[in-house]
Amino acid sequence: MRSISMTDENGQALAIVAAPIDEVGATERAQFFTTRSIKKDSKVHALYLAISMCDLTTLEGADTPGRVRQLCEKARHPVPPDIFNEAAKLKDFPPIPSVAAVCVYPAMVSVAVKVLAGSGIHVASVATAFPSGQSPLSTKIDETRYAVAKGADEIDMVINRGAFLSGDYQQVFDEIAAVKEACGTAHLKVILETGELGSLDRVRLASEIAMHAGADFIKTSTGKIQPAATLPVTLVMLQAIADFYHKTGKKIGMKPAGGIRTAKQAIQYLCMVNETLGAEWLTPQLFRFGASSMLNDILRQIFKEATGRYYYDRVFSLD
């Protein structure tokens, strides 16, 4: 175990412990969660919870105001109410909840804010030269401030992986701290892009730096690089959050993003969160899924529980 010496945003010495990770053990432990089987009412409860934790995302060069408005309507009403009411009357199922947030590029924030006004759904924006992170700090700060000024209450930033992989941990820390300050009251999710870090040891160190620098959430991936979220990577990040909480008393959120496509996978992640951090983290305030494609499969599973049959995929709106 080694200690990384840095300086915090107040000029005070800061030592961050780089805990070594047993990759074989972490992988074996993560695999354990794929064997879980949750049935009946507990399964339905988990699926409803997963919907409430979803961040729906559109981050394409072809994004238009119309596409963003469509995604925001799906965030508010994941399935058309008349379709659900017809199915749910077979059982006493509660209404399908709205999702946690919609994430868009800064230029589309004002569109999302207008559609989602009064819904309680958060508007998140990627910033800091997403997805590469390869822009001057001044540009990253300007982009963050712009998104917040337009109404974003969550900012998803990417770390400078080039600086991290070069061993310039101080630059990584300073950029996160500066973006956190630029966020004002908006929450900051720090994306590590774990698929580019190369080892679980580096994932753990990047998690520690992000949390000490002011992250409200740590997030696995942009969704643009493979591999994205995996169970072993998420387990390492959850354990880092647990250790940080025990040391500081501060609860940091977690967001696996990219590659989570099925309801079964969602339940595996929820089991992992519960057993690593506890039930207190099973809330959208502390855990999110960056998995837009997962939502329709969750809806299919809920309808299966309500009706005994699977619905045709196109019953649900398409992203």
Q: What residues are labeled active site?
A: 156, 219, 255
Identity (one letter) of the amino acid at 291? A
Alpha-helical runs (H) found in 53-136: 65-76, 81-88, 109-116
User: How many residues make up the chain in this entry?
Assistant: 319
Rounded to an integer, what distance in angstroms lies between the CA atom of residue 49 and that of residue 274?
A: 13
Which tokens sit at 266?
């969602």
Rounded distance between C-alpha atoms, residue 176 and residue 14, angstroms: 15
Neighbours of 253 (CB within 10 A): 19
Cβ–Cβ < 8 Å for 49, 76: no
Beta strand pairing call for 101-104 and 55-57:
parallel
With left for phi above 0 and alpha for psi between -120 and 50, is residue 53 left, alpha or beta?
Answer: alpha
The set of residues, in sequence order, having a beta carbon less than 8 Å from that of 60 and lying 6+ positions away, is none
Q: Helical H runs in the chain?
A: 23-32, 40-52, 65-76, 81-88, 109-116, 137-149, 161-165, 169-183, 200-213, 231-248, 263-276, 294-307
